[in-house]
Chains A and B, each alone.
Chain A
Amino acid sequence: MTDSLTKSRQLLSGDDAVALAALHAGTALGIGYPGTPSTEILETLDRLGGRAQWSPNEKTALEVAIGVAFAGARALATMKHVGLNVAADALFTATYTDVDGGLIIVSADDPGMASSQNEQDNRRYARAAGIPMLEPVDSQQAYDFTWLGYELSERWKIPVLLRLTTRVCHSLTPVLPRAPIAPRVADFRRDVPARVMIPAYAKPAHHRLRAKLADIAAWNEAEGPMQTEMGSRSLGIISTGISAMHAREAAPEASHFSFGLTYPLPIGRIRDFASQFERVLVIEEGDPVLVEEVRAAGIPVEGKTERFRFSELDVARVRRIVAGDDSEEPTPPKGKPPELCPGCSHRTVFHALRDLDCIVAGDIGCYTLGVLPPFSAMDTCVCMGASITAGLGLRHALPPDQARRVVSVIGDSTFVHSGLTGLAEMAYNPPPTGHLVMILDNETTAMTGQQEHPGTGRAIDHSRAHRMDFAAVARAMGIAHVDLIDESAKNIDLKARIAECLARDETALMIVRQPCVLAAPKIRLYEKAADQHCTAAPAA
Chain B
Amino acid sequence: MTSTHSTTNIVIAGLGGQGIITASDILAEAAFRAGFDVKKSELHGMSQRGGSVTSDVRFGERVLSPMVPAGEADVLLVLEPTQIEINRPLLRAEGVLLTTDVIPPDALKNKKSLNVAMLGALSGVLEIDEDHWLNAMHAHLAEKLHRINDEAFELGRRCAQPD
Assuming A167-B67, A174-B38, A341-B50, is B83 touching A252 (CB within 8 A)? no
- Residues A166 and B43 in contact, CB atoms below 8 Å apart: yes
CB pair B45–A114 under 8 Å, yes or no, is yes
The 8 Å CB contact of A333, one of B29, B85, B140, is B85
Give Cα A115 to B48, complex, Å.
11
A340 and B43 in contact, given A248-B64, A332-B70, A334-B86 (Cβ under 8 angstroms):
no
A231 partner residues in chain B, CB cutoff 8 A: 1
Q: Roughly how many angstroms separate A150 CA and B54 CA in the complex, as a whole number?
A: 35
In the complex, chain A residues 237-255 whose Cβ is within 8 Å of any chain B Cβ: 242, 245-246, 248-249, 252-253
Chain A interface, >50% SS class: loop
For A246, give the chain B residue with the smallest CB separation. B65
B125 interface hit (Cβ, 8 Å): no
CB neighbours of A468 from chain B (8 A): none
The 8 A CB mask of B73-107 against A (1 = contact, 0 = none) is 00000000011011101000000000000000000
Asked if B41 CB lies within 8 Å of chain A CBs, one says: yes
Q: A447-460 vs B: 1/0 string, CB under 8 Å?
A: 11100000000000
Interface positions of A from 308 to 346, Cβ below 8 Å from B: 314-316, 330, 332-341
Interface residue B110 (Cβ < 8 Å from any Cβ of A): no
CB-based nearest A residue for B85? A333
CA distance A447 to B46 in the complex (A): 7
**Neighbouring A residues of B42 by C-beta, 8 Å:** 170
Partner of A167, one of B16, B38, B41: B41
Residue on A nearest B37 in the bound complex, by CB:
A174
Q: A1-B139, A252-B1, A336-B50 are in contact. Are A173 and B38 (CB under 8 A)?
A: yes
In the bound complex, what is the Cα–Cα distance between A37 and B46 (angstroms)? 11
- A173 to chain B minimum Cβ distance, whole angstroms, is 5
Q: How large is the interface on B (under 10, 10 to 19, 20 to 34, 35 or more residues)?
A: 35 or more
A366 to B48, CA, bound (A): 10
Minimum Cβ distance to chain A for residue B73 (Å) = 13
Asked whether A172 is an interface residue with its Cβ less than 8 Å from the other chain, the reply is yes
Q: Are A172 and B1 in contact (CB under 8 A)?
A: no
A11 within 8 A of B: yes
Contact indicator B50/A338 (Cβ below 8 Å): yes
Asked whether A171 lies within 8 Å of B66 as measured between CB atoms, the reply is yes
Option from B38, B51, B54 in Cβ contact (under 8 Å) with A339:
B51
B51 pairs with A336, CB closer than 8 A: yes
Other-chain residue from B2, B66, B82 in contact with A336 (beta carbon distance below 8 A): B82
Instruction: Tell yes or no: A100 within 8 A of B by CB.
Output: no
User: Do B83 and A335 have beta carbons less than 8 Å apart?
Assistant: yes
Interface flag for A119 (CB, 8 Å): no
Contacting B38 at CB < 8 Å: which of A36, A172, A246? A172
Find the residue from A138, A173, A231, A253 having the highest chain B CB count within 10 A.
A173
Which residue in chain A gives the minimum CB-CB distance to B51?
Answer: A338
Task: Give the nearest-CB partner of A317 in chain B.
Answer: B69
Given contacts A314-B67, A336-B50, A339-B51, contact A229 B1 (CB under 8 A): yes
Residue in A37, A174, A315, A337 whose beta carbon sits within 8 Å of that of B65 in the complex: A315
User: A339 touching B49 by the CB < 8 A rule?
Assistant: yes
Are B25 and A172 touching (Cβ within 8 A)? yes
Closest to A36 in B: B45
**1/0 contact string of B133-154 vs chain A (CB within 8 Å):** 0000001100000000000000
CA–CA, A139 and B45, complex, Å: 20
Q: For residue B44, which residues in chain A have a CB less than 8 angstroms away from its CB?
A: 36-37, 114-115, 170, 449
Which residue from chain B places its CB closest to the CB of A312 in the assembled complex?
B67
Residues on A with C-beta less than 8 A from B65 are 242, 245-246, 249, 314-315
Interface residue A369 (Cβ < 8 Å from any Cβ of B): yes
Q: Mark interface residues in B9-43 (1 if CB within 8 Å of A CB, else 0).
A: 00000011000000001001100100001111111
Interchain CB contact under 8 A, A170 and B43:
yes
Q: Write out the residue numbers on chain A whose beta carbons fall within 8 Å of the beta carbon of B49.
A: 338-341, 366, 369
B113 to chain A, nearest CB (A): 19
Check if A491 is an interface residue, CB within 8 A of chain B: no
Residue B8 interfacial (CB < 8 Å):
no
Proximity bits, A1-16, B CB within 8 Å = 1, else 0: 1001000001100000
Tell whether, in the assembled complex, residue B47 and residue A170 are in contact, meaning their CB atoms are under 8 Å apart: no
CB distance from A142 to the nearest CB of B (A): 12
Determine the chain A residues whose CB is within 8 A of the CB of B89 once the complex forms.
330, 332-333
| Chain A residues in 8 Å Cβ range of B45 | 36-37, 114-115, 447-448
| Minimum CB–CB distance for A521 against chain B, Å | 14
A248-B64, A252-B3 known; A172 vs B43 contact (CB < 8 Å): no
Contact B41 A336 (CB under 8 A): no
Give Cα A302 to B50, complex, Å. 42
Q: Do residues A314 and B69 form an inter-chain contact, with CB atoms below 8 A?
A: yes
B39 interface neighbour in A10, A166, A171, A369, Cβ under 8 Å: A171
Residue of A nearest to B139 (CB): A4
Q: B-facing mask of A510-539, CB < 8 A → 1, else 0?
A: 000000001000000000000000000000
Question: Which residues of chain A have C-beta atoms less than 8 A from B63's C-beta?
Answer: 173
Cα distance, A348 to B1, chains bound together (Å): 57
Bound Cα distance A427, B50 (Å): 39
Name the CB-closest residue of B to A319: B69
Report the bound CA distance from A252 to B86 in whole Å. Answer: 30
**Quick one: which of A11, A115, A173, A253 contacts B46, CB cutoff 8 A?**
A115
B1 and A336 within 8 A (CB) = no
7 additional A-B pairs beyond A173-B63, A252-B4, A330-B70, beta carbons within 8 Å, are A4-B139, A11-B28, A11-B38, A114-B47, A248-B64, A336-B50, A366-B46
Top 10 closest A-B pairs, CB basis? A115-B45, A335-B52, A338-B51, A338-B49, A171-B66, A333-B86, A249-B64, A172-B40, A114-B43, A36-B45
